Structure 1
Amino acid sequence: MRLAGKRAVVTGGRQGIGRGIVDAFMAEGAKVITCGRGARPDDLPGACGWITADVTDVRQVAALAEVAGEVDILVNNAGVQVEKTVVESTDDDWNLVVGANCRGVFNTCRAILPRMRKGGSIINIGSISGHAADPSMALYNASKAFVHGLTRSIAVDHGPHLRCNAICPGWIETGMLEAGFALADDPERAREDALARHATRRFGKPSDIAAMAVWLASDEAGFATGQLFTIDGGMTAASPINTGLF
């Protein structure tokens, strides 16, 4: 029960990585409140608090912070992606992706950070796409680079009162992964190629990211701050020559 007695806010906890983190935090003894833009999911554990909130809206985020009160852990997970190049991207695409992935993280940190107890932990969900660009994901790539930069700034500006780190997932089995494969001319071949690029020969699961989030939220990670932790099954560690594709 590494998080016993701690209060956590997790944005975007309806499904995918966010839901995995909610479940893992509760299993480790944390009291959790999560949020999303729709109604409370039917399968959300009864002990988990739910607020309908859009993180791009300052007023809704302020309401979330008011309900949450003093917290020990904040996980900024809510985010979206659009599969387009710069030339293809519209103003609406910009507002959607930058609104959720950049402004949303900023809004939530600004509202909740002053309410965090000493020794607290902010965990931002970045991406390997913030390090190396995925094709036709211009706005998403740029938005995750923003998250990485903001993570370092918060760690520097607000230590030692709290810690701030980012988890940079690779290819995780969520709806976003399936949307990416759908862009390929041959989705099945694309999936096989992608698996071959992983040292683990599998894609990640939300529970893989949740396990790192639990550690970063716990007192065990008391000396870790301002860091970007890549969890990608070894994909970015390998040269293409070592993947078995050539």
Structure 2
Amino acid sequence: MRLAGKRALITGGRQGIGRAIVEAFAREGAAVTTCGRGSRPEGLGQNIQWYPLDVTDTAVVEQLAYTTGGTDVLVNNAGIQIEKTVIDSTDADWDAVIGTNCRGVFNLCRAFIPRMGKGGSIINIGSISGQVADPSMALYNASKAFVHGLTRSIAVDHGPEIRCNAICPGWIETGMLDAGFDLANDPKAARDDALARHAMRRFGKPSDVASMAVWLASDEASFATGQLFTVDGGMTAASPLNPGLF
């Protein structure tokens, strides 16, 4: 029960990584609130609070912070991905990706930091795509780089009262994974090649990211702040050479 006595708010808790974090935090004893677009998702534990929320709406985010009275742990997980290059991206694409992935994280941090007590922890879900560019995901790559930079700024500006870190997942088994491979001329070959580049020889699971989030939210991570924690099964540790040829 590493999070007993802590209040936690996780955005984008309907499915995937967000849902895994919600469930892991609840198991560890946190009082969990989560939010997302639309109505309460099926199967969400009755002890978990749900709020419909558009993270791009500043006024609604401020109202949520007022209604909940703040939080001890904030996990900014809500995000979207659009698979386009710069020249193919429209103004609507910009508004959607930058609005959710950048402005949304900024809105939540700005609203909740004044309502977090000493020892608070902010965990932003970044991506290895903010460090190395995935093909045909220009806006997504850029948005995650923003999240990484904002993470460091919050750690510097609001320590020692608040810690702020980012988790940078690699290829995690969610809908975003399939969408990325669907861009390839041969999706199966692209998937097989990516799998071979993982030292763990598997893709990640949402629970892998949730386990890191639990640690960062806990007092065990009291000296960790301003850092990017990569969870990618060793993919970005490897050189471009195919290890199967050596």
Q: TM-score, length-normalised on structure 2?
A: 0.98
CA drift of 1:136 comes to 0.5
Supply the distance in 1 between the matched residues of 2:233 and 2:39 (Cα, whole angstroms).
Answer: 34
Which amino acid in 1 is paired with 2:16? G
Which amino acid in 1 is paired with 2:163? R
1:207-237 deviation per Cα after TM superposition (whole angstroms, max 9, x unaligned): 0000000000000000000000000000000
* Paired position in structure 2 for 1:19: 19
Supply the distance in 1 between the matched residues of 2:145 and 2:58 (Cα, whole angstroms).
Answer: 22
Once the two structures are superposed, the pairs formed by residues 72-151 of structure 1 within 5 Å of their partners are 72-151=72-151
* 1:180 and 2:180 aligned: yes
Supply the distance in 1 between the matched residues of 2:63 and 2:14 (Cα, whole angstroms).
Answer: 18
Once the two structures are superposed, the pairs formed by residues 191-230 of structure 1 within 5 Å of their partners are 191-230=191-230
* Paired position in structure 1 for 2:9: 9
Using the aligned pairs only, state the percent identity: 76
CA drift of 1:67 comes to 2.4
* 1:39 and 2:39 aligned: yes
Supply the distance in 2 between the matched residues of 1:142 and 1:245 (Cα, whole angstroms).
Answer: 33
Q: Please say if residues 3 and 25 of structure 1, whose CA atoms lie closer than 8 Å, have aligned partners that are also in contact.
A: yes
Supply the distance in 2 between the matched residues of 1:234 and 1:115 (Cα, whole angstroms).
Answer: 37
Supply the distance in 2 between the matched residues of 1:105 and 1:239 (Cα, whole angstroms).
Answer: 32
Q: 1:157 to 1:182 in 2, by over 3 A?
A: same
State the secondary structure of the residue aligned to 1:32: strand
* Structure 2: runs of 5 or more not aligned: none
Tell me the C-alpha RMSD between the 2 structures. 1.0
Q: Please say if residues 71 and 116 of structure 1, whose CA atoms lie closer than 8 Å, have aligned partners that are also in contact.
A: yes
Which amino acid in 2 is paired with 1:13? G
CA drift of 1:240 comes to 2.3
Q: 1:186 to 1:154 in 2, by over 3 A?
A: same
* Paired position in structure 1 for 2:238: 238
* Structure 1: runs of 5 or more not aligned: none
Supply the distance in 2 between the matched residues of 1:147 and 1:70 (Cα, whole angstroms).
Answer: 21
Q: TM-score, length-normalised on structure 1?
A: 0.98
Supply the distance in 1 between the matched residues of 2:210 and 2:245 (Cα, whole angstroms).
Answer: 31
- Between 1:184-193 and 1:205-214, the stretch displaced more is 184-193
Q: Please say if residues 129 and 144 of structure 1, whose CA atoms lie closer than 8 Å, have aligned partners that are also in contact.
A: yes
* Paired position in structure 2 for 1:154: 154
* Paired position in structure 2 for 1:57: 57
After the TM superposition, which parts of structure 1 deviate over 4 Å for at least 4 consecutive aligned residues? none
- Between 1:58-67 and 1:193-202, the stretch displaced more is 58-67
Q: Please say if residues 193 and 245 of structure 1, whose CA atoms lie closer than 8 Å, have aligned partners that are also in contact.
A: no
CA drift of 1:242 comes to 4.3
